[in-house]
Amino acid sequence: MRSALALLLLATLNNCSQKEDKIIPKVLVIKKLEIVTINYDSCKNVIKSTRQNKKAGWPKLSKQEKEKIFTSAVAETIIPPWIGTAWDFNGTSEKPQKGSIACGYFVTTILRDAGLSLARIKLAQCASEQMITSLVQSKYIQRFSQVKMEDFIQSIKRQGYGLYIVGLDNHTGFIYNDGNEIYFIHSTFIGTRNVQKENAATSWILEKSKYKVLGKISTDEKVLDRWVN
């Protein structure tokens, strides 16, 4: 009798597991992160030195060179220490791996710590489209409504290398095109519920958002000049 009950219970559990596997989107299953401790103040000092060293010769640099310097400072120097930091709707942390951070605060804190002067709190609390239009000139902003994910990704590929701010229905983050891959970097409220750098083309949040606003901040000459100064 006990053996029969045990077999029945095992069969039921297996069936439930199979149903759950079908319900949960595969993209929400995110691998556990290996968090590397990085001295954040050192990262900010590196950028400060870069801006000081480039300032005198800045007017002579090409727009592509300026974009590469700025993008590298944000995407490769300031963002990495934040990967794995906890998300919370009310999170306002200013230190990676300490406390939690909401998606809007993640964007504005990253830009501020990379050396761009802005109203961190005010912009973080704005609707994402308003935040983007406050930071990026309109000629560098695109809007997408009910577009296929493939078309959205192709648009980013056409615009090429650089750093973008993306605003979604109820979320915001960065798009980073490194010239080979396109990443969505954001403080996510699903899956691991922390700061993630994921493949943009397979991002569940990006795909499900019906409305997208994309501002290419790294190509905005006004932003670049403000940053170096």
User: Rounded to the nearest 5°, which phi and psi values hold at 161?
Assistant: -50, 140
Mean pLDDT over 31-50 rounds to: 78
Residue 38: what pLDDT?
Answer: 75
pLDDT range class, residue 37, cuts 50, 70, 90 = low
Has residue 19 got a pLDDT over 50? no
More confident: 17 or 63: 63
CB atoms within 10 A of CB 160: 12
Q: Mean pLDDT across the chain, nearest whole number?
A: 88
To the nearest 10 degrees (0 to 180), the angle between helices 103-113 and 128-135 is: 20
Question: Alpha-carbon distance 179 to 20, whole Å?
Answer: 37
| Strand arrangement of the beta sheet that strand 162-167 belongs to | 141-145, 211-215, 162-167, 172-177, 182-187, 195-199
pLDDT range class, residue 151, cuts 50, 70, 90 = very high
Mean pLDDT over 50-64 rounds to: 97
pTM: 0.84
Percentage of the chain lying above the pLDDT 70 cut? 84
More confident: 190 or 14: 190
Has residue 71 got a pLDDT over 50? yes
Q: For each of the domains in the chain, give its residue range(s) and CATH number, in order of start.
A: 61-228 (3.90.1720.10)
